[in-house]
Amino acid sequence: MTMMDTTDSTHVSFAKMQGTGNDFIVVDNRSYGFSMSELSDCAASWCRRRFGVGADGLLALDAPESAAADYQMHYVNADGSRATMCGNGARCLFRFARQAGFEKPELAFDTDAGLYRATHPGSDANRVRLFVPDLPDVQSTVELDQDVPDSIQALYFINAGTEHLVALVDDMEAVPVREWGRRLRGDPSLAPAGANVNFVEERATGEIALRTYEKGVEDETLSCGTGVLAAAVVVERIRGRDPTDPMDVQTQGGRLRVGVASTDRGPERYLEGPAVLVFRGTIEWSSSTERPNPDEAATVGAPTGCP
């Protein structure tokens, strides 16, 4: 029986988490059994800033679909649309799973983009290394239906778990991210999925910096994990950089690292960075309405550090 089968209200426990400023509402859906449509309703209501908890998206931990996985990750954007993958969210959900009783040092989990694995790379419990499947080739010839702004030196496309445009620019801070991102993200040539848009600046230090406009959030976010991965791989391949030499990537919300590490399965690419618990709380869900009340106030606990 799903939550829609009863008219009773339910108080849903959640964790608020963030990875380099990319923030999420996280629920253990093994306890609640929300359907995907219900998770979409929850996300569209609860993620609204100033009207709900506020977040870039909703993460749900579910029972695994495959024998190789410990759990399944479902991710819903702030507007209620379903997303295939979220790199910052995946790291946060790994930390959430560890706190929920998953004790193995490395956990595998199903996503709509395939099987992923995550672990702690050291003693810092806030730091998570996410191992990602092989990425497809970078498309260096991107033909959009609209004109591309002159300040964009080159435009690339890659699917890093979700669709991404990577735009190389001289000065990332000078880019009107909301204006250009909204326009390019919805180009008819990218229909129906669209693409996140990453404005990337290469720096003399060897690191790169980027700002990202995310579809589903329909705004600039402080960080996008799959966008970091996409940008790093594009720069690596077009510049001929050694993938085993880790690349630091600066986002508006903090620094992430992309590299290749040796595992029992062979060399694997990873995305590494913080995953932090902000607070825990409860919010009311009433199945008597099709969509939760967007003005419903959340009840949150006192801020706490991660255990």
Residues designated as active site: 86, 224
Tokens, residue 191: 């229909």
CB 145 within 8 A of CB 116: no
Other beta carbons less than 10 A from residue 7's beta carbon: 9
CB 78 within 8 A of CB 43: yes
Residue tagged 């959009």 (tokens): 144
Q: Which run of H or of E encompasses 39?
A: helix 36-46
Q: Name the nearest CA neighbour of 276 among 117, 94, 105, 115.
A: 94
Q: What are the φ/ψ torsions at residue 178 (nearest 5 degrees)?
A: -65, -45
What is the dihedral angle through the alpha carbons of 67, 263, 115, 230, rounded to the nearest 10 degrees? 180
d(CA 266, CA 261): 8
What is the dihedral angle through the alpha carbons of 140, 143, 148, 151, rounded to the nearest 10 degrees? 10
CB 70 within 8 A of CB 106: no
Other beta carbons less than 10 A from residue 173's beta carbon: 11
d(CA 280, CA 300): 6
